[in-house]
Amino acid sequence: MKYKKYKLERREKKRIKRRLLRFLFFSGVLGIAVYMIFSLIVGKPQVENLRDLTMIPAQKDITLRLKGDVKRATVKIIQEGKEFILYDAPPIQGKAVPLDLVVKNMGLKDGKAQVFITLRYGLFGKKTYHIDAWIATTPPKLEVVSYTRYIPQGGTGAVKVRVKDGYGAYLEVGQERYPMYSIGKEEYFTLYPVKVDQDPATTIKVVAYDLAGNSTTLLLKTQIKKVEFKIDRIKLSEEFIRKVIIPLLGRDMPPVDAFKEVNENWRKTDVENLKKIGSNSIAKKMWEGNFLQLPGSKVVSTFGDIRYYYYQGKEVSTSRHMGYDFASVENAPVPASNSGVVVFTGNMGIYGKMVIIDHGFGLMSLYGHLSQIKVKKGQFVKKGEVIASTDSTGLALGDHLHFGIMIHGIEVNPKEWLDAKWLRTNINRVLEEN
């Protein structure tokens, strides 16, 4: 009995052991299978912006963007046996590896270097990238050749620079950035707007940069002068809203709402559209001498005028007049104020039927409230060539030409551009100086 019992117990134990082994084996296989399927779905991790590491300037902040589930990232840079660890930790939120590259802190010099990025993922996954990098720490040499010294609010400035060992340059006026155009070997030029409300303390600086990302900055000693703009108070009649505003809107609205919709919302959209059109200018001077006023016309509105609108004795809206209004006879022929390429023809909000001509280096002229447009987009027009007729399309009280000058899509004071002497001293001289 005893022996039999012992035998039974042994058999039982063996069976349990076999079951356990089988269980362990199958769960292991299952685990591996699940892991493999999971890995297949998740895939190997990737670095999305490897290219950012091919050129290394004196100083650069780069954040490597990762795709996939990365547990740890190691980034090191090697040059002639010297090694420098840039990062060795889990990525931030599993996705970002911030690198603060300061070449002199890494003990490296200009020339070739190797960057290795190792990503650890899953259970034992490991992927290594190798990049041939080029270290270049010498910043470009920047010299200001000539610039406009003095600019009133709403005016235009020009600047010409020389850049050695660089790739390009741009201009910063406060928060705004404007491109500089290459005008031959190592020389760059641009025009730029000073806004009507530009703070006279705004800093204006030129930045030259190279392909690696090194840059050199110089401040311009340009003075911005405050301008007292004219104030106009305009009474809105019920008739004007019924005959001009409602047909322009194409739907009925209460009078004040209708006026505000056109004067404020349409205007805002127009400003955005002009900025887009104005950002695509040819890098070539196409203007010849001063811009032309509409022949035989009177100036009925000037640039920068602040307008307050009243309806039934109450102030209801305000705006700025961003151009010159020229009034002549009805349907007067409108000549191109200067030579250039037509970049826009058609309807635009408050401007009605409009033509825009590009004169190069960010300078454009615009003609609003027109009818009978005679030119096409892409066409070159000579100064004085008739492009359309005056009318009162868009937001206009009567037949007149709204003439505007834009620099990089921002309207500036056309008065300067109508003045041959101003144009010679402030713009052409800057462009021609060596």
Minimum distance of Zn ion from residue 299's CB (angstroms):
11
Cβ-proximal residue to Zn ion, closest one: 402
Kindly tell me the burial class for residue 183, based on how many C-beta atoms sit within 10 Å of its own C-beta (0-12, 13-18, 19 or more).
Answer: middle
Number of chain residues interacting with Zn ion (CB under 5 A): 2
Categorise residue 382: left if φ over 0, alpha if ψ from -120 to 50, beta otherwise: beta
The least distance separating Zn ion from the CB of residue 321, rounded to whole angstroms, comes to 6
- Of the candidates 131, 133, 128, the residue with the CA atom closest to the CA atom of residue 108: 133
Q: Count other C-beta atoms under 10 Å from residue 254's C-beta.
A: 9
Among the residues of 180-301, which ranges form H helices? Answer: 238-240, 246-249, 255-260, 267-278
In angstroms, give the least distance from the CB of 224 to Zn ion: 25
Rounded-to-integer distance, Cα 181 and Cα 191, Å: 9
Q: Which stretch binds Zn ion (CB under 5 A): 12-20, 238-246, 310-318, 400-408?
A: 400-408
Q: Which is nearer to Zn ion, 139 or 394 (CB)?
A: 394
Nearest-approach distance from CB 394 to Zn ion, in angstroms: 9
Closest distance to Zn ion from the beta carbon of 225 (Å): 24
In the complex with Zn ion, the residue whose CB is nearer, 229 or 380, is 229
The neighbour count for residue 419, using CB atoms within 10 Å, is: 14
Nearer to Zn ion, 136 or 322 (CB): 322
Question: What minimum distance in Å lies between the beta carbon of 402 and Zn ion?
Answer: 3
179 vs 404, which CB is nearer to Zn ion?
404
Residue 159 burial class via C-beta count within 10 angstroms: exposed 0-12, middle 13-18, buried 19 and up = buried
Residue 359 in the binding site for Zn ion (CB under 5 A): no
183 or 327: CB nearest Zn ion: 327
Closer residue to Zn ion, CB minimum distance, 285 or 400: 400
Site mask, Zn ion, residues 2-41, x = CB under 5 A? ----------------------------------------
The tokens describing 172, both together, are: 């910063």
Q: In this structure, are residues 350 and 266 in contact, taking their beta carbons and an 8 Å threshold?
A: yes
Rounded CA gap, 409 and 384, in Å?
23
**C-beta of residue 379 within 8 angstroms of C-beta of residue 344:** no
By C-beta, is 361 or 403 nearer to Zn ion? Answer: 403
Whether 336 contacts 387, CB under 8 Å = yes
> Does residue number 402 form part of the binding site for Zn ion (CB under 5 A)?
yes
Query: In angstroms, what is the minimal distance from the CB of 354 to Zn ion?
Result: 11
Question: By rule CB under 5 A, what string of x and - marks binding of each residue 303-332 to Zn ion?
Answer: ----------------------x-------
Site for Zn ion in 204-263 (CB under 5 A): none
Q: For residue 259, what are the CA distances in angstroms to 246, 250, 388, 396?
A: 8, 13, 28, 12
411 sits near Zn ion (criterion: CB under 5 A): no
**Least Cβ distance, residue 408 to Zn ion (angstroms):** 21
Task: Looking at residues 366 to 395 of the shown chain, list those that interact with Zn ion (rule: CB under 5 A).
Answer: none
Q: How far is the CB of 110 from Zn ion (least distance, A)?
A: 56
Q: Identify the burial level of 173 via C-beta atoms within 10 angstroms of its C-beta, where 0-12 means exposed, 13-18 middle and 19 or more buried.
A: buried
Residue pair 156/426 in contact (Cβ under 8 Å)? The answer is yes
CA distance 303 to 417: 12
Tokens of 70: 């990365």
Closer by beta carbon to Zn ion, 350 or else 431: 350
- Residue among 302 and 379 whose Cβ is closer to Zn ion: 302
Q: Which is nearer to Zn ion, 260 or 402 (CB)?
A: 402
Distances (CA, A) of 388 to 193, 288, 359: 27, 21, 18
**Least Cβ distance, residue 407 to Zn ion (angstroms):** 18
Which residues of the shown chain bind Zn ion in the complex (CB under 5 A)? 325, 402
